[in-house]
Amino acid sequence: MARKDKDKIFQKQNKNLISLTNSKSPIAEQFRTVRTNIEFSSPDTDLRTIVVTSPNPAEGKSTITANLAVVFAQQGKRVLVIDSDLRKPTVHYTFHTENHVGLSNILTRQATLEKTVKTTKQENLWVLTSGPIPPNPSELLGSRGMNALLEKAKNEYDIIILDSPPVLAVTDAQVLSNLTDGVVLVVSSGKTQIDSAKKTKELLESARAKILGVILNNKKVQKNQYYYYGGE
């Protein structure tokens, strides 16, 4: 790959992790607001495992997953990001790490959590990448092994955030939502159709998911006000 292309990828990755690279920016402040809203969404429930998903691809869920993880870690909590998108994983790109071994290896009993998680540039934040793409993602995510992994992770981390595939594309997010404490739904302004958002809500609720809230991404506002940009 040419040096120029590598530089463009690096700049895009840094932009996607703005809560880490520019923690005083208005956008990073918005992520801290989202963090607070999540914490207050269930005052009587200890939220330890959260799925972040969207109706369709390219609506920004992976970018938001990463930045939410950063702001939770900046709060002093031990945070683990799990790339549970075993179809089109991106967490390893965002955090500039390898993806030779990851979640799929643990779920097929080829690796352990302790030896697979990776550190990041953000203190208190670790990532578990997807690992090799398996032929049966939904079955692996709905397995006893996945449930056991989440229970084990809760002994080591204060909060676990899972980046999952889009709801309308495959059933993976519904499967995960049934194993976790809550779901954050990401929709993209001007892109996500209302019918798609409604259908996504219905599918998650049919899986007995607890929807913590919805993040409107890519919303353009007036000059000098906050806005957010996309990414997948």
Q: Residue 14 has what pLDDT?
A: 52
Residue type at position 44: D
Residue in 73, 19, 70, 79 with CA at minimum distance from that of residue 48: 79
**201 phi and psi, to 5 degrees?**
-60, -45
In Å, how far are 72, 88, 110, 112 from 231, measured between CA atoms? 20, 14, 32, 30
Q: Residue 43 has what pLDDT?
A: 78
Q: Residue 161 has what pLDDT?
A: 98
Q: Residue 221 has what pLDDT?
A: 61
Q: Residue 140 has what pLDDT?
A: 97
All residue ranges of the chain with pLDDT < 50 are 1, 3, 5-13, 226-232
Q: Residue 184 has what pLDDT?
A: 97
* pLDDT tens digits along 22-54: 988 998 999 999 999 999 988 778 899 999 999
Q: Residue 222 has what pLDDT?
A: 55
Token look-up 């540039």 returns: 121
The beta strands (E) that lie in 2-83 are given as 49-53, 79-83
What is the set of domains in the chain, with CATH numbers? Answer: 3-217 (3.40.50.300)
Q: Residue 80 has what pLDDT?
A: 98
CA atoms lying within 13 Å on the CB side of residue 10: 7
